[in-house]
Amino acid sequence: MVAAARGRRSDQRPEDDRTLAQLEADLFASWLLDGRVDGSPVQTKIAIMIPEASLTEDSEEPAVSADRRWAVPAEQARRLAAAPGAAHEWYEAFCGPDVGPGEVPDILAVRYRGRFAPMRLRDALTFRDGTCRAPGCMVPAERSDLDHQVPWPAGPTEAANLWALCRRHHRMTTHGFLDPPLSVEEEEMASEQDESTSVSPRPGTESWCSRAQAA
């Protein structure tokens, strides 16, 4: 739906002053009414993250959207999951240790060939990051680019080397005005070395702000 709205935006007539958000809302309303937009079928995805215990009625923890801005009550999420006419595509998000030989690998631990992440990895990173990972930015990850922290091909296409950045902050990274986030090990090391002062929040806020101001 976002891609369709962006395409419509590029073909927008001068007298049509709707914003991208308004175009998305209009396309969404048209799709809800008859499943088509301007006579063409639309493929869209509405994703939520729900604990397994909530699906099995062992918990009432609600499902949440990727950007954590809205939630679906557990009972309603169970009804949606059980709807016979719905086309569901389930992804399992692993949160435990690495699996052993012959077991299903964690999708975030797999290294992919080529520059572009496959759609399943993109979906997983959308839920991992939630929003653009630049300090204070609230652009949803689903509207953001996936940027290699270490540029490809030197840097691999894997979750540890990818982060969601809105187009603006992606460009700032390209031009050297935004540093990649610290790894867990780097954050722990920084905390141990400088316990007497506050540690810069992820990802490199101080250096990013100083560079942006200097620009």
Same domain, residue pair 72 and 117:
no
Q: What is the pLDDT of residue 184?
A: 55
d(CA 127, CA 94): 12
Say whether both 67 and 113 belong to one domain: no
Q: Are residues 23 and 65 in the same domain?
A: no
Residues 144 and 207 in one domain: yes
Backbone angles phi, psi at 107, to 5 degrees: -60, -25
Q: 128 and 210 share a domain?
A: yes
Whether 110 and 214 share a structural domain? yes
Q: Tokens representing 204?
A: 């490199």
10, 59: one domain: no
Mean pLDDT, 10 residues at a time, over the chain (215 residues)?
A: 51 71 78 67 73 90 87 91 76 53 65 84 88 91 91 89 93 87 63 55 36 33
Residue 35 belongs to some domain of the structure: yes
User: Which CATH number covers residue 149?
Assistant: 1.10.30
126 & 208 share domain: yes
> What letter represents residue 140's amino acid?
P
Q: Does a structural domain hold residue 74?
A: yes
- Look at residue 86 and tell me if it is in a domain: no
Range of the domain at 176: 105-215
> What secondary structure letter does DSSP report for 60?
-
Decide if 97 is inside a domain: no
Residues 37, 70, single domain; the answer is no
Looking at the structure, do residues 112 and 175 belong to the same domain, yes or no? yes
How many distinct structural domains can be found in the chain? 3
**Quick check: is 87 in a domain?**
no
Residue where the block lists tokens 């982060």: 163
Structure token digits, residue 201: 């929040």
Answer whether 114's CB lies under 8 Å from 157's CB.
yes
Whole-angstrom Cα distance, residue 188 to residue 190?
5
Q: Are residues 206 and 161 in the same domain?
A: yes
202 and 114, same structural domain? yes
100 inside domain:
no
